[in-house]
Structure 1
Amino acid sequence: MDVTTLLYVSGFLDLFGVSMIVSQIGTHARELGASSTAAGFVGSVYGALQLVSSPTVGRWSDVMGRKACLVPCLLMSAVGYLSMGFSYTLTILIFSRIITGMFKQSQSISRSMLSDITPEDQRCRVYGRFNSVSSIGFILGPLVSSTIIKHEGGFYTVSCLCGSVFTLNAVLMWFVLPSIGPTKKKSLHHNSLTNVMMSFKHLNWIDLWDIFLVNFFAGFSVMLFRSNSDMIFRDRFGTTKQDMSYLTSYTAVVSALCGFVSGWIASHYKDNYQLYKHMLYGLFVTLVALTLVVDFWMYVVVLALLSFVTTNLRVASASLLASRAGTGGVGAVMGLGDTVMSVARMLSPLLSGMALEVSSSGPSLIGSVMAAVAVVVVSLRSQLKLHQE
C-alpha cells in the first residue's frame, strides 16, 4: 500500500471517529447540567484552541517530520475522546475538549504530507480524493453512533469506540506509514515554541495574504448558511428533524462524489488560480439562488450545486496554499489556513442567528454579500498581477 493510499485510510478513520461523537457533545453537556451558554462554551473551547494549535503543530511538522507529529496527534486525540466517556462532570468534559483542541490536527498534517509527495499538477486530484474518502467516514460515523447512543451508557460506548478508532489509526500509521524527513532542516532557531512562533514571519506573506483573506470570506459565507441550516429549512419549508438528517446525508454524499472528479475538473484549467476564481463565482451565484428560490425541490438542487462548488473550492485552495508556501513551510501554511477557517467558524453562528431573527433568507443573503467581497478581492488581485506582468 503506497503512502497516498495510507493517508486516505487515515483520513477516513479520522472523520469516521469524529463524526460518531461530535454531534452528541452538546446534548451530553446539557445532561451534565450545563446551561445553553455553558454548553456553547464547551464547543467554543475546541475552536479557540485550534486558532493557536493549528499553525503551531503545522510548523512543528515542517521541522520534526510529518509522521513524528501525526502519530502523537492521533494518540492524544484518542486520549481526549476516550476521556469524554468518563466525563461525569462538566469540568472533565471541558478538559477532554482542551486535549482535542490542542492535538486534533491530523487532517492538516495529512494534507501537508500529501503535498510533500505529490507533484503540483496532481494535487487537486489527490486532495479531492482525500476529502472524498474522509467524507465517506463522516457519512458512516453517525449511522453507527445513532444505533448505539439510544441505549443506556450510549455516550460512554460511543466515546470509547471513537477513541479506539483514533488509537487504531495511530498504530497503523506508526507501523505502516514510512518516515519522510522534515521539509525544513532542524536548527537551534527552532528549538523552542517561541522561536517556532517567530518563524512565521519568514513565510512568503506577499503571495499568501490574498488566499487567506478570500478563504475567510468564502468560508464565512458558507458557514453563515450551514450553521443554522436546520432552522432555515424549518422556517421556509416546514421540514422535520428526520428530513434534515436526510438532507445532511444527501449533501455529504454529493460532496464525496464531487471530490472524486476534482482532479478531472482541475485538468481542464491552465492553473489552479483560474479554477479557484471560477468556483468563487459559482459560490456567489449559488448563495444568491438560495436567497431567491422558493420551491423546495429547486432548493435541494441548488444545495447540490453548493456542495459541488465548495468541494472544488477547498481542493483548489489547498493546492494553491501548498504551491505558494514554498519548501519547508507547507505545514505552517496549512495550519494557518485552518486557523482562518476556525475564526469564520466561531463568528458565523452568531451572525447567522441574528440574521434569522429578521428573515429566513437572511443568512444566505449576508453570505452572498461575503462571497461577493471574496470575488472582488480575487478579481483585483488578478488584475494587479496582470498589470505587473
Structure 2
Amino acid sequence: MFGAGLLMPQLANHAKQLGCSHIQIGTMSALYSGFQLISGPVVGSLSDTKGRKPILLLCLYICAFAYVSLGITSSITLFLLLRSVIGMSKQTQLLTNALAPDYETDGTKQSIVYGRMSTMTGLGMSVGPIIGGHIMEAYPNNGFTVICCVVSAIFIFNTLLLRKLPDVKISKFAKKQVTIPIKLLDSITKTAKESIDEFRKIDWSIFWDLFLFKLLITCCVGLYFSSFSLFLKIYHEVSPKELGYLIAFQGGMGSLCTYFIGHITKLYKHDEDFSQRMLHISLVLSFTLLGLSMTSSIVIFVLLLIPFALCGSIGRVTTLEMIASRSKNTNRGTIIGASNSMKSLSGVITPLLGGFIGEYLGIAYNFYLASFVATAGAVAIKYHRTYVTSKNKSE
C-alpha cells in the first residue's frame, strides 16, 4: 500500500501530461477497477487450487514488470493497457489476507496479525503520498518514472521476503477440485448464478434505503476522487508535494474520525431506524462538496476536508450497523456482498462519468453533481422518514 500511496496521487496528472483527455483518464480508472472486480474471484480460486504463495509471487512479478513499463512508456494506448494488466494482477491484499492463516493458525493471534496489516496499510497510504510528492518535486522531468521504479523495486523486495516463507501443502481435494481453466470458469459462473438467486430471496423492501444510502456515499466519494488531483492542480495550482500532504491529511482525518466513531454514534441513541444519521450525513456531504467546488481558498478547502472525512467514516459504519440490525444469519453475508459489489461497480462507473463531465463541462462539475446526488439522497430519506412517521401515527 506504500507503493500505491506513492503512485496514485500523481497518476492522473501524469496521464494528462501524456496527452490523455478527461475521458481517457476516467477510462483508465474504470479499467483498473473493472479488472480488479473481475480478477478477484479468479485469483482467489487459483490461490486455493495452486497455492497462495506461488500465485502471490506470480502477481508480484507481473506488477513489478508492469510498473517499470508504466513509468517509461509515452504511448497512451500502452499506458491504458498496462493499467489494465495491473488491475488484473494487483490482488496482493486479497492474497496476503488469505495467506496469513496458513502461517498463523491460532484464531486469537490472527486478529492481531490482521490488525497489524491494517495499521501498516493505513501508514503506507498516509506516508506514501508525501514521499511521492517530494520525489516529483526533486525530479520534475522524470519524477513519475522514478516513482514507478521505486514501486517496482518494492514489489521485487516483497518477492524476496515471500520466498523465505516455508511452503504450505495444498490438500489433495483442493488440487482435484479445479484443474483446468474451463472448470474454473464454470465454477465462477455457477457462483454468480447462485449469488443472483440469493439476491432474489432478499426482501428488498426492508433494505432499499440501505442500498440507496450506500449508492449515495459511493457515488459522491467516487466522483470526488475521480477529479480530486486534477481539480487541485487546475483551480488551486497545488504542487505535487502539497498534493501528497493533502491526501495524507485527508487519510489521517478519516482514521481519526473512525477512532472516535463510538462517541459520535452515542449522539444518535434514539435513531433506531438510522434515518436521522443518513439524513445528516447526506446534508453535510451536499454542503461540503458544494463548498469544495466553489471556494477559492486552499485553507478553506483543507478545512472542508474534515467534515467530508467525517461523513465517509460515519457512513461506512452506519451501513454496517444497518445490515447487522436488519439482516438474519442466513442472509447477512449476501447483503454485505451485495453492498461491496455496489462499491466495486461504482468504482467502474463513476470514473467514466467523471471523465465525460470533466471533458465536456469541466472538472468542477463533478463536485456539483456529487453535491446534487447527496441532496437528492437527503430529500428521499426525509420523504421516507416523514411517510413512515405519518403511517405509524395513523395506525
TM-score, normalised with respect to structure 1: 0.66
Any gaps of 5 or more consecutive residues in structure 1? 1-13, 384-389
Q: Are residue 187 (structure 1) and residue 190 (structure 2) matched?
A: no
Q: Which residue in the other structure is 2:346 paired with?
A: 341
Deviation at 1:284, TM superposition (A): 0.8
Q: Which residue in the other structure is 2:378 paired with?
A: 372
User: Structure 1 residues 86 and 74, CA, compared in 2 at 3 Å: closer, same or farther?
Assistant: same
CA RMSD of aligned residues (A): 5.5
Q: Which residue in the other structure is 1:227 paired with?
A: 226
- Give the share of equivalent positions with the same residue, in percent: 22
Deviation at 1:254, TM superposition (A): 0.6
What whole-Å deviation, never above 9, does each CA across 1:117-151 have from its counterpart, x for those lacking one?
9999x99x998876564233122223222333342
Query: More displaced, 244-253 or 152-161?
Result: 244-253
Query: Equivalents in 1 of 2:368, 2:250: separation in Å?
Result: 21
Any gaps of 5 or more consecutive residues in structure 2? 390-395
Residue identity matched to 1:258: C
For residues 1-389 of structure 1, what are the structure 2 equivalents within 5 Å?
14=1, 16-32=2-18, 34=20, 37-58=23-44, 70-109=56-95, 133-149=120-136, 150-151=138-139, 153-173=142-162, 175-176=164-165, 187=177, 191-203=183-195, 204-205=198-199, 206=201, 210=207, 214-229=213-228, 239-242=236-239, 246-261=245-260, 280-290=278-288, 300-314=302-316, 336=341, 339-350=344-355, 353=358, 362-369=368-375, 371-372=377-378, 375=381
What whole-Å deviation, never above 9, does each CA across 1:311-336 have from its counterpart, x for those lacking one?
34346657969x97989989977973
Residue identity matched to 1:148: I
Query: Equivalents in 2 of 1:368, 1:241: separation in Å?
Result: 27
Are the counterparts in 2 of residues 74 and 167 from structure 1 also a CA contact under 8 Å? Answer: yes
User: Structure 1 residues 343 and 283, CA, compared in 2 at 3 Å: closer, same or farther?
Assistant: farther
Query: More displaced, 25-34 or 76-85?
Result: 25-34
Are the counterparts in 1 of residues 71 and 146 from structure 2 also a CA contact under 8 Å? Answer: yes
Report SS of the residue matched to 1:191: helix
Query: More displaced, 18-27 or 312-321?
Result: 312-321
How many residue pairs match? The answer is 361
Are the counterparts in 1 of residues 223 and 367 from structure 2 also a CA contact under 8 Å? Answer: no
What whole-Å deviation, never above 9, does each CA across 1:278-306 have from its counterpart, x for those lacking one?
76444213113326768877765553122
Q: Which residue in the other structure is 1:8 paired with?
A: none
User: Structure 1 residues 246 and 267, CA, compared in 2 at 3 Å: closer, same or farther?
Assistant: closer
User: Structure 1 residues 188 and 78, CA, compared in 2 at 3 Å: closer, same or farther?
Assistant: closer
What whole-Å deviation, never above 9, does each CA across 1:224-266 have from its counterpart, x for those lacking one?
344345687799xx7442576654332222113334455x569
Query: More displaced, 307-316 or 294-303?
Result: 294-303
Are the counterparts in 1 of residues 250 and 309 from structure 2 also a CA contact under 8 Å? Answer: yes
Q: Which residue in the other structure is 1:6 paired with?
A: none
Q: Which residue in the other structure is 1:5 paired with?
A: none
What whole-Å deviation, never above 9, does each CA across 1:1-46 have from its counterpart, x for those lacking one?
xxxxxxxxxxxxx2x1012223333444455555555555444432
Q: Which residue in the other structure is 2:393 paired with?
A: none
Are the counterparts in 1 of residues 253 and 306 from structure 2 also a CA contact under 8 Å? Answer: yes
TM-score, normalised with respect to structure 2: 0.65
User: Structure 1 residues 328 and 35, CA, compared in 2 at 3 Å: closer, same or farther?
Assistant: closer
Are the counterparts in 1 of residues 30 and 347 from structure 2 also a CA contact under 8 Å? Answer: no
Query: Equivalents in 2 of 1:344, 1:17: separation in Å?
Result: 25
Query: More displaced, 106-115 or 365-374?
Result: 106-115
User: Structure 1 residues 114 and 347, CA, compared in 2 at 3 Å: closer, same or farther?
Assistant: farther
